[in-house]
């Protein structure tokens, strides 16, 4: 197997792809956000339950490639218990790592570190970003009191930076 293929499809990524976390739909959610990646056809739906300013629980339903599914699964695992500000900061670190703008990997990154192999496949960066931009946009709308549910697109440069 070629080195770069195993760099992208790390065992951790394949594990998240085969058994995604956050699969169970939430009974009570404060935030619902849908995202899509028009160029690949990846689609994601997120639900978030808020409690005392932190993300208490997250449900992720992603229909897409291994990278988008794994990234969504990792998101479900890492954002629980974090505040909006912490999630925004984490999403920005993920974005910088995927775009090769920063090699700084925080300790609490956990499995997310495995996504850095995606950097070698520029067309797949959007797949890895999908869950993150969908969550961040959903949080922003919630914070602004906007209850409408727009579909977030990774083709929007405002969204993916």
Partner 1 sequence: MARRMSADGYGKIISIVGKPMGLDVERIKADFPILIEPINGHRLVYLDSAATSQKPRVVINAILDYYRKSNANIHRGLHALAERATESYEKTRRHVAQFVGGVDPHEIIFTRGATESINLVAYTWGETNIGEGDEIVITEMEHHANLVPWVILAQRKKAILKRIPITVCGHIDLSSIEDIITSRTKLVALSHMSNVLGTISPLAEIIAVAKRHGAVVLADGAQAAPHMPVNLTTLGVDFYAFSSHKMLGPTGVGVLWGRRALLEAMPPFNFGCEMNREVRYDRITWNDLPHKFEAGTPNIADVVAFDAALTYLEDLGMENVRAHEMELTKYAIEQLSAIPGIEIQGPQEPEQRGGAISFTDPNIHPHDISTFLDSKGIAIRAGHHCAQPLVRTLGKVATARASLYIYNDQGDIDALCDALIEMRKYFGV
Binding site for partner 1 (CB under 8 A): 1-2, 4-5, 8-9, 14, 17-18, 39-43, 63-68, 121, 124, 127
Least distance to partner 1 from the beta carbon of 111, Å? 17
Least distance to partner 1 from the beta carbon of 18, Å? 5
- Dihedral, 65, 151, 119, 19 alpha carbons, nearest 10: -40
d(CA 13, CA 155): 24
d(CA 96, CA 90): 10
Shorter beta-carbon distance to partner 1: residue 39 or 102: 39
Q: How far apart are the first and last CA of the chain?
A: 33
d(CA 36, CA 76): 17
Shorter beta-carbon distance to partner 1: residue 126 or 141: 126
Shorter beta-carbon distance to partner 1: residue 40 or 54: 40
Shorter beta-carbon distance to partner 1: residue 44 or 136: 44
- Nearest CA to 33 among 126, 155, 139, 156? 139
Report yes or no: 112 and 96 within 8 Å, Cβ to Cβ: no
Least distance to partner 1 from the beta carbon of 43, Å? 7
Least distance to partner 1 from the beta carbon of 12, Å? 13
Residue in the block written with tokens 């300013």: 53
Least distance to partner 1 from the beta carbon of 64, Å? 6
Shorter beta-carbon distance to partner 1: residue 8 or 48: 8
């Amino acid at each position: 197997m070629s080195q770069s293929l195993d760099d992208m499809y790390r065992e951790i990524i394949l594990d998240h792809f085969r058994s995604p976390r956050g699969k169970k739909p939430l009974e009570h959610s404060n935030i619902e956000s849908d995202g899509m990646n028009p160029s690949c056809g990846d689609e994601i739906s997120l639900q978030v339950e808020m409690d005392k300013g932190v993300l208490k629980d997250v449900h992720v339903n992603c229909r897409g490639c291994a990278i988008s599914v794994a990234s969504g699964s990792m998101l479900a695992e890492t954002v629980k218990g974090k505040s909006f500000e912490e999630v925004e900061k984490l999403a920005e670190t993920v974005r910088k790592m995927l775009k090769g703008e920063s090699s700084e990997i925080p300790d609490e990154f956990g499995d997310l570190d495995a996504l850095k192999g995606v950097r070698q496949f520029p067309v797949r960066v959007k797949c890895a970003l999908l869950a993150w931009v969908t969550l961040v946009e959903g949080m922003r709308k919630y914070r602004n009191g906007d209850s409408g549910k727009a579909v977030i697109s990774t083709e929007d440069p405002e969204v993916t930076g």
